[in-house]
């Protein structure tokens, strides 16, 4: 294993410290584990918290700031944070307006976030949650029952975060978060695995000419393995699965071409070139496109495509100001 | 070679098309090769152009927009654009206030940009230029005489771009660009090579436990090769070289921890954790930090550290609004 790290047992902590030291105007770290919150708490609004295992940077700490999240809780790499850590995050950000948890659909995450919510409610903090499950690749997987929550989650952070910033109630913020979930679909592929530092070796093996199609953000198996094909063919296949899941034709969409950590922007733009062409041909209008690293898998060479079907409310909230380390909307 | 590409001969064009299709509000592509300019030309200000070989994305097209560049010219991967392409870029953005070229110090780039400037001046367009050479690792290298221009170049785009946006003269914009060059130093390291698509194999080989220290942004040799050491030791060594080159103690600096294309943010933050600690210990005050991919080397696993020694003018220009695909300053 070749990585720019120190002690494997300190990867998560040193990463979070390095993030907070980079962005002290945005973030501060709580004393109880790897929980980051906005450096200036904003009262009177619904507070948003998300998180999960580490290894998906910039998710989720990079999205803490004005117009998006109020707290991000980072577990060990690819491991859910504990209920105690999540509870500390909730306590730190709670306002009278309540707290919304944005949870990706993995059994451990859902269980631990729900336990934290129960504990918070005993303390009188109103907590609601949504569960993202945008991955169309597989139903039931290594870490979860049902579809997995992947890069589409970041659209939930952006849109629900904007709604909260505008002063909406907890029910309203939850409703728009659920609307994003109902309208976003994602699928990915990878040509190399990733290595959890504490494991010291890749989570799976791929042949010299192989790719995994429909891969999850922890390197979980997808729909199948096959020989690497030209980018346009891979892109076309993923789009077919996404476009076949809900009806996008005639609608406006937000597109996210998300890198898995080690895929150069060069390749993500080549992929987007074909995404744009296919959508134009099929009568799906692109409202806004995001190309870059939003929800990664350490140093996996892979990507995912997310399509969010928009209405006027979601368009307005997607365009609303945001100022976080990893997402700025001017 | 495993990559998400199509025909190797179309990599650069499909990449630039994919970028323009992602950001139509920011960018448009000229018909003459891979040249992108702002979609809305701004008259009355000095226009900035930069560029070089492809493979360094988001540089340089990602920095075209309000407060930074007006045009970016992309040659083939790791190959200078031709004088004709550069001239087309200059013509497209030229205003009465003139054009500043920001050129990285590689023999081919400097020669071709200077030829383009000569041709533009024959057409009556006032053109000046600066040459960035921030890499402290080696003097004279595979592609150039003197020090190489690397990630510090992006600070030149930001600060000179802000000065131009504020209505400064060509001489003033050139002067502040040169001031950034005089005050910025960079050095990097890598643990894997990168593969130019047209070559089909890595530009060099590294053993299973080896790293190249002082590596260039095209994978050129650095100062030496050695066994991989913990991130803090590598970081400490690079900082020693940078801090030993000009006097930073007692000054405020901007820090850039730049990923080479395949280094996960996890590792860049671990590196920044130590950068922040070392600078604090040595009495160098961090004004602002940037962690991410700014000047990459396709899919190389590596990073560089840049330190820019600031004065009040540079601080104000660094903080000035910017709105480009890859750098937004809110």
pLDDT reading at B120 higher than 90: yes
- pLDDT given for residue B61 in this prediction: 98
* Cα distances (Å, whole numbers) of residue B285 to A142, B265, B288, B292, B329: 47, 23, 9, 20, 21
For residues A60 and B53, what is the distance between their CA atoms, to the nearest angstrom? 33
Mean pLDDT of chain B: 97
Are B2 and A270 in contact (CB < 8 Å)? no
Average pLDDT over residues A53-73: 98
User: How far does the CA of residue B118 sit from the closest CA of chain A (Å)?
Assistant: 31
Report yes or no: B156 at the A interface, CB cutoff 8 Å. no
- pLDDT given for residue B142 in this prediction: 74
pLDDT, tens only, B277-294: 999 999 999 999 999 999
What confidence category does residue A64 fall into, taking pLDDT thresholds of 50, 70 and 90? very high
Give the A window 298-317 contacts with B, CB below 8 Å: 298-299, 301, 303
Give the A window 27-66 contacts with B, CB below 8 Å: 54-55, 57-58, 62
For B72, half-sphere exposure in the C-beta direction (CA atoms, 13 angstrom radius) is 32
User: How far does the CA of residue B293 sit from the closest CA of chain A (Å)?
Assistant: 9
Average pLDDT over residues B53-79: 98
Mean pLDDT of chain A: 97
- pLDDT given for residue B281 in this prediction: 98
- Provide, rounded to the nearest whole percent, the portion of chain B with pLDDT above 90: 97
Nearest residue in B to A74, CA atom? B266
pLDDT, tens only, B173-227: 999 999 999 999 999 999 999 999 999 999 999 999 999 999 999 999 999 999 9
Report yes or no: A191 at the B interface, CB cutoff 8 Å. yes
Q: Which long-range contacts (CB under 8 A, 24 or more apart) does B219-223 make?
A: B219/B190, B219/B193, B219/B194, B219/B297, B219/B300, B220/B141, B220/B142, B220/B143, B220/B148, B221/B138, B221/B141, B221/B142, B222/B137, B222/B138, B222/B188, B222/B189, B223/B137, B223/B138
For residues A86 and A88, what is the distance between their CA atoms, to the nearest angstrom? 5
pLDDT reading at A39 higher than 90: yes
pLDDT reading at B49 higher than 90: yes
For residues A252 and A5, what is the distance between their CA atoms, to the nearest angstrom? 43
Average pLDDT over residues A110-120: 98
What is the phi/psi pair of residue A84, to 5°? -60, -45
Nearest to A6 among B62, B231, B293 (CB): B231
Predicted structure pTM score: 0.98
∠ CA B69-A315-A259 to the nearest 5 degrees?
55
Burial of B73 (0-12, 13-18, 19+ CB in 10 A): buried
- pLDDT given for residue A311 in this prediction: 98
For residues A297 and B221, what is the distance between their CA atoms, to the nearest angstrom? 29
pLDDT reading at B38 higher than 80: yes
pLDDT, tens only, A201-244: 999 999 999 999 999 999 999 999 999 999 999 999 999 999 99
pLDDT, tens only, A137-190: 988 777 788 999 999 999 999 999 999 999 999 999 999 999 999 999 999 999
What confidence category does residue B143 fall into, taking pLDDT thresholds of 50, 70 and 90? confident
For residues B162 and B17, what is the distance between their CA atoms, to the nearest angstrom? 27
The predicted complex's ipTM stands at 0.98
């Amino acid at each position: 294993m070749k990585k720019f790290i120190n002690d494997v047992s300190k990867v998560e902590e040193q990463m979070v410290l390095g993030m907070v030291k980079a962005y002290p105007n945005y973030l501060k770290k709580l004393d109880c584990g790897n929980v980051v919150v906005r450096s200036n708490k904003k009262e009177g609004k619904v507070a948003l918290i998300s998180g999960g295992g580490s290894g998906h940077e910039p998710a989720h700490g990079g999205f803490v700031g004005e117009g998006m999240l109020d707290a991000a809780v980072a577990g060990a790499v690819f491991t859910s944070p504990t209920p105690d850590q999540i509870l500390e995050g909730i306590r730190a950000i709670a306002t009278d307006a309540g707290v919304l948890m944005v949870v990706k659909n993995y059994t451990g995450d859902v269980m631990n976030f729900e336990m934290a919510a129960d504990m918070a409610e005993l303390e009188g903090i109103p907590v609601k949650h949504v569960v993202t499950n945008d991955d169309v690749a597989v139903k039931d997987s290594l870490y979860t029952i049902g579809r997995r929550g992947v890069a589409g989650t970041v659209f939930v952070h952006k849109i629900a975060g904007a709604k909260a910033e505008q002063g909406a109630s907890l029910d309203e913020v939850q409703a728009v978060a659920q609307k994003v979930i109902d309208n976003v679909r994602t699928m990915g592929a990878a040509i190399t695995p990733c290595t959890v530092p504490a494991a010291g070796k890749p989570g799976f093996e791929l042949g010299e000419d192989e790719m995994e199609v429909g891969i999850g953000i922890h390197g979980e198996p997808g729909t199948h393995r096959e020989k690497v094909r030209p980018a346009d063919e891979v892109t076309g296949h993923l789009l077919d699965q996404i476009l076949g899941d809900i009806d996008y034709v005639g609608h406006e969409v937000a597109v996210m071409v998300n890198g898995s950590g080690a895929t150069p922007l060069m390749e993500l733009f080549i992929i987007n070139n074909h995404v744009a062409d296919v959508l134009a041909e099929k009568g799906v209008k692109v409202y806004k496109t995001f190309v870059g690293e939003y929800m990664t898998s350490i140093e996996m060479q892979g990507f995912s495509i997310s399509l969010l079907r928009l209405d006027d409310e979601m368009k307005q909230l997607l365009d609303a100001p945001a100022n976080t380390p990893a997402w700025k909307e001017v």
